Structure 1
Amino acid sequence: MTGTVTQDVVMSGAGRYILRSLGQADVLLDGRSVVWAARSAEELLWFLHAFPEGRYRHDILSQLWGLEDNTAAANRFRVALHRLRAALEWPDAVTEQGGRYRLHPELLEASDTYRLHQALRASRQSETLREREELLRQALASADGEYLPHLQGEWVEQARAQHRAAVVEGYLTLSELHCAARECPLAAQALVKAAQSDPLIGEDHHQRLMACLSMTRDRFAAIEHYRRYRHFLASEVGDTPMHDTELLAERIKAGERVCEHLPFTPQKT
């Protein structure tokens, strides 16, 4: 098979495909969005994408569509599977072994979440700080938005939480690398991204962000973040900030330097 191939696509027999699951979900075949004959075929694709290890038919029917594994449901599954393979123009797009159905590995490798997790794993194994930073940037470049925002269900919520945690890990690690290199604005930027991805990243990270903002912007930006965080805890969690966080806010209000590193001096433009 031949077709339009970009640098984002796995260079293989499945190299005609790009799977975008973060942000606005889309499946590209030869550079064009796949048109699904039925929603069930698209749902089946993304369900199997969320479970790379595969699922048995009765699990798919139950978890994806809330159906019992009877004759009518089995027929629905067969039709959806046929339409999925037909839409992707690839009979091996879904494989079956011992009753377990999986997306073809090369389809999984053509997805943004695969690139995200692969780059994160590589960054953990890297021996140099700059290489770790570059790998993290590559990973986070694929992480633009929530996982499959157009779908609902317990199965997608579980997968969404897993991918969100990976994105947050990436931003937090990136912020630590920038902080160690005294790259304060970049450290603050990465912390902001982590907090936007998951406001419940941990109060210690919000404290770090307050300190970063007080050094890279001003104390008013730091206190504004503290107030937003306090409002979020009250309205969404029914809790209040830790006493340490309140004390940190008071120190920043008083103009105290709260960062353990040398003061950041913005360069003149």
Structure 2
Amino acid sequence: MSQEQHRTAHLAPISPPRYLLRSLGNADVIVEGVSVVWPARSAEELLWYLHAHPRGRYRHDILAELWDLEDTRAAANRFRVALHRLRSTLGHSDAVVEEHGRYTLHADLQAASDTFALHRALAASRDLTEPRQQEELLRQALASADGEYLPHLQGEWVEAARSQHRSAVVEGRLTLSLLHCAARECPLAAASLVRAAETDPLIGEDHHQRLMVCLTMTRDKYAAIEHYRRYRHYLAEEVGDTPMQDTVDLAERLKADARPCEHGPYMLTRN
């Protein structure tokens, strides 16, 4: 038994089907089919903070990152009240567990969240060696990945969690695009690249180059050049940078009707 399994083995199960934690898009916590009405925002923030830190956090970290108050006694009291309200609202005293000073959301509650299921599937896909199985698992996982992570909350802790979630989704979409490309499913490869670039425009310039080529092969050179122009504008306005020379050269070749991908319809039909 792992250390994590040993740590949670003594906890009474909370029946995951009874709970549903939606963290993507319109965040919601559902208990027995009914959306929770929080008695105080602090209780909801504590839930999502612990959700974003599945390994748990010590009390002093929670106080500093959620309620950075000069009066430490006031901060401690807010934590105590928020913890009580969180447990009461969810109807279970073990909703948040404490062990050796570290507070953790119950494992069943973590498992009842949409992002937990998503990241578990993404992690499982990395261990698969059969491309079609990996593709199917990624496709199913990413089908529920739409929406910003906890868009109604602000703070450094949630921005960090948001960034980690976004990176995992982008990694999944890029992997899916490579699987489609290897299977010569060019439109699907292009679609996955487009979604990755929409999620994070800074996915890496090599991926933007691949997308330009994919758009050329699946649509036309004008679609590829339009993406290049949008990317160049984004770099100038948001980053204060310009595309690499390789990207500029690729755009010029595409304008001149180059067909640099052996998997595209041009190569498949030219003979």
Q: What TM-score does the superposition give when structure 1 sets the normalisation length?
A: 0.91
The total of aligned residue pairs comes to 256
Structure 2 counterpart of 1:194, which letter?
A
Report what 2:103 is aligned to: 101
Q: Measure the CA separation in 2 of the matches of 1:69 and 1:135.
A: 49
Alignment RMSD: 1.6
Counterparts of 2:152 and 2:180, CA distance in 1: 34
1:29 paired residue among 18, 26, 31: 31
Output the amino acid matched with 1:37.
P
C-alpha change, 1:223 and 1:98, in structure 2 (3 Å) is same
**Sequence identity of aligned pairs in percent?**
72
* One-letter identity of the residue aligned with 1:38: A
Cα deviation code 1:180-208 (max 9, x no counterpart): 00000000000000000000000000000
Contact 2:170/2:199 (<8 A) preserved? yes
The range that moved more, 24-33 or 190-199, is: 24-33
1:202/1:112 CA distance change after superposition, 3 Å: same
Q: Partner of 2:178 in structure 1?
A: 176
The one-letter amino acid of 2:181's match is C
- Which residue number in structure 2 is paired with residue 3 of structure 1? none
Alpha carbons 2:213, 2:261 under 8 Å: kept: yes
Q: Which of 117, 120, 124 is the matching residue for 2:119?
A: 117
Partner of 2:207: 205
The corresponding residue for 1:249 is 251
Matched with 1:74 is 76
Please list, as runs of the form range in 1=range in 2, the aligned pairs for 1:26-175 lying within 5 A after superposition.
26-67=28-69, 70-175=72-177
Aligned residue type for 2:205: E
**Superposition deviation, residue 13 in structure 1:** 2.0
Q: In structure 1, what is the Cα distance between the partners aligned to 2:27 and 2:121? A: 20
Distance (Å, rounded) in 1 between the aligned partners of 2:78 and 2:189: 50
1:181-260 matches, within 5 Å, as: 181-260=183-262
Judge conservation of contact 1:216–1:264 (CA < 8 Å) in 2. no
- CA offset digits 1:76-102 (Å, max 9, x no partner): 111111111111111111001111111
What does the per-residue CA deviation read over 1:136-172, in whole Å, with 9 as the maximum and x for residues that have no partner? 0122122112211111111111111111000000000
| Unmatched segments (≥5 aa) in structure 2 | 1-12
Cα distance, 1:264–1:190 mapped onto 2, change above 3 Å: farther
TM-score, normalised by the number of residues in structure 2: 0.91
Moved over 6 A (4+): none
Three-state SS of the structure 1 residue aligned to 2:146 is coil
